[in-house]
Amino acid sequence: MTAPAQSRLDRILGTIERIGNKLPDPALLFVVLMLLVWAISALLAPVAFTEIDPRNNEPIKVVNQVTGSALATFLSNMVTTFTSFHPLGVVLVALLGVGVAEHTGFITAGLKGLLGITAPRLLTPLLIFVATLSHTAADAGYVLVIPLGAVMFAAAGRHPLAGIAAAFAGVSGGFSANLIPSSLDPLLQGLTQQAAQLIEPGRQVNPLNNWYFLIASTFLIVSVGWFLTDRVIEPRLKGTTVDGDAAAMPKMEALTPQERRGLRAALGAMLGGVVILTLVSAPAASPFRSPEGALTAAAAPLMRAIVPLIMLLFLLPGVVYGYSSGTVKSHRDIIQAMSKSMSTMGYYIVLAFFASLFIAAFGQSNLGALFALKGANFLKAMAMPAQVTIVGIILLTTAVNLLIGSASAKWALLAPIFVPMLMQLGISPDLTQAAYRVGDSSTNIITPMMPYFPLVVVYAKRYVTGTGIGTIVSLMLPYSICHLVAWTVLLMLFWMLGIPLGLQASYAM
């Protein structure tokens, strides 16, 4: 019975891949979507909607994007819209350091050493586990863990796209799961508390109100991802030829004496950098702390400096490795490595240009917000039992997530509706926020609206040149569905057994 089921799954995913890859090039697709947003915004702008926008307490309005003033603003802001596109700077700055580490051989040597001490069967869970931990460092996983996942799998003789899929599933599909609190926790908590105080003015919400649930979620995401990668995704990729940078992929070989010497020196330099950063950050008066004294708050300079720190954390060891192992002869080799890493991102820069324009137009039109409010009001009108309502919130969040990528932007829109509504049904803000986090993460990996999605396509093209949006969606769809189902079941089990969701958290009012 297993083989036919596997064949049916292959056929379904294969169909999704073929249809998806028949779409225009992703860059042109964003242009088409932007024109579609313009057209719909023009049609809906005259319509008077009754839904109240919680951001300004007024009826929501669709903003026409094809008026003379809107088009003038579009053209005058085009450069800043592109240059302020968040993933662009993150990727390019981090890649300056990572490119040097890759060019000098530091990353290759490090992976050889890691694979030498890691059992082959544990490579997948190790990668996904590291991917979930990367949430602590903001967007580090997208620019670091996902491309390294491909290199790790290739070095172990496995398909690099399976490594990308596994890492992407951990970084983005399990976005909220983490053993360590991140800047997202207080960000969402602040919005939840503000929404709860609409009903109960003195209500306080702990920033770590979902922490225990998210710790358990980490092991769930690793387990589900491990099974899917090894049993579903990688077998599907056996017929997919690696025709990109195959020749440049590191092989599973023992470290040479020069590599060992360089690796020891580089790891020493990296450890030294971490120690220095720790000593500088530890004091209560550290300039890396937020005004409230926190290191992991969104406003803390340490969190805002994560990307430059990643660059330095790879640049310095990469330089040390190069000189110690003999792969670098002069500073010109370092500059050449940086230039080479930038040259590989030409397609992504083009893609980011059109993606930034589309995402900006979609946000300014208010179409995503309109969809979210209509869905929330429909859910409220259904007046379903508490458990069904929680599942409904999860499903609605997954749908909204296909249109609005930012976790905080979605919650700023939905929290003032969901939290008070469920408080009146006897459901605590802590449980409502946990349900939102499940839905917010599960569909990240299948929507091109997620700002880093085009980057994952670019990563995959390095190994399989025919990769398109359909390829990535078909690879990630099993993760998305399984994460959604398993994570929802886990939340229901926590609720049914009364296991605390986090610090000072409750299920009922």
Q: What is the pLDDT of residues 202-240, one digit of tens each?
A: 888 888 899 999 999 999 999 999 999 999 999 999 888
Categorize the per-residue pLDDT at 491 as very low, low, confident or very high, splitting at 50, 70 and 90. Answer: very high
- The whole-model pTM stands at 0.78
pLDDT at 16 over 90: no
Summarize pLDDT for 102-138 with one digit per residue, the tens: 889 887 788 777 767 778 889 999 999 988 988 766 6
- Residue 24 to residue 160: CA distance in whole angstroms: 24
Instruction: Tell me the C-alpha to C-alpha distance, in Å, between residue 184 and each of 131, 137, 234, 303.
Output: 16, 10, 32, 11
Which of left, alpha, beta for 157 (phi over 0: left; psi -120 to 50: alpha)? left
pLDDT computed for residue 483 by the predictor: 97
Task: Please give the average per-residue pLDDT across 178-188, as a whole number.
Answer: 80
Summarize pLDDT for 143-168 with one digit per residue, the tens: 778 988 898 898 888 999 999 999 99
Domain assignments of the chain as residue spans, ordered by start: 12-497
For residue 463, give the amino acid letter.
Y
Task: Please give the average per-residue pLDDT across 334-350, as a whole number.
Answer: 86
Q: Which ranges of 424-452 would DSSP assign to H, the alpha helix?
A: 429-442
pLDDT computed for residue 466 by the predictor: 87
pLDDT computed for residue 2 by the predictor: 42
Task: Please give the average per-residue pLDDT across 471-489, as a whole number.
Answer: 95
pLDDT computed for residue 401 by the predictor: 86
pLDDT at 298 over 70: no
CB 347 within 8 A of CB 108: no
- Residue 311 to residue 246: CA distance in whole angstroms: 25
Task: Please give the average per-residue pLDDT across 79-93, as a whole number.
Answer: 86
Instruction: Tell me the C-alpha to C-alpha distance, in Å, between residue 288 and each of 185, 273, 275, 298, 354.
Output: 19, 15, 15, 12, 35
Per cent of the chain over pLDDT 70 is 95
Q: Residue 145 gets which letter from DSSP? A: I
pLDDT computed for residue 505 by the predictor: 92
Task: Please give the average per-residue pLDDT across 159-180, as a whole number.
Answer: 92
Q: Give the number of other CB atoms < 10 A from CB of residue 330.
A: 9
Chain centroid, CA 353 distance in Å:
19
pLDDT at 251 over 70: no
Which of helix, strand or coil describes residue 284? coil
Task: Please give the average per-residue pLDDT across 20-44, as a whole number.
Answer: 86
CB 442 within 8 A of CB 484: yes
CB 145 within 8 A of CB 134: yes
Q: Say which range, 73-87, 107-121, 283-297, 351-365, has the weakest mean pLDDT.
A: 107-121
Torsion of CA 483, 148, 245, 468, to 10 degrees: 30
pLDDT at 249 over 60: no
**Pairwise pLDDT comparison (427 vs 248), residue with the higher score:** 427
**Pairwise pLDDT comparison (385 vs 111), residue with the higher score:** 385
pLDDT computed for residue 297 by the predictor: 67
CB 155 within 8 A of CB 115: yes
**Pairwise pLDDT comparison (94 vs 327), residue with the higher score:** 327
Average pLDDT taken over every residue of the chain: 86
Q: Say which range, 121-125, 310-314, 327-331, has the weakest mean pLDDT.
A: 310-314
Task: Please give the average per-residue pLDDT across 329-340, as a whole number.
Answer: 91
pLDDT computed for residue 247 by the predictor: 43
Task: Please give the average per-residue pLDDT across 424-453, as a whole number.
Answer: 90
pLDDT at 457 over 60: yes
Categorize the per-residue pLDDT at 1 as very low, low, confident or very high, splitting at 50, 70 and 90. Answer: very low
Of 497, 500, 509, 499, nearest to 386 by C-alpha is: 509
Q: In this structure, what are the phi and psi dihedrals at residue 52, rounded to the nearest 5 degrees?
A: -90, 125
Q: Say which range, 6-15, 30-39, 471-480, has the weakest mean pLDDT.
A: 6-15
Categorize the per-residue pLDDT at 384 as very low, low, confident or very high, splitting at 50, 70 and 90. Answer: confident
Summarize pLDDT for 54-70 with one digit per residue, the tens: 778 889 899 999 999 99
What sign for the dihedral angle of Cα 24, 29, 31, 35?
A: positive
- Residue 274 to residue 295: CA distance in whole angstroms: 15
Of 128, 234, 241, 233, nearest to 178 by C-alpha is: 128
Categorize the per-residue pLDDT at 252 as very low, low, confident or very high, splitting at 50, 70 and 90. Answer: low
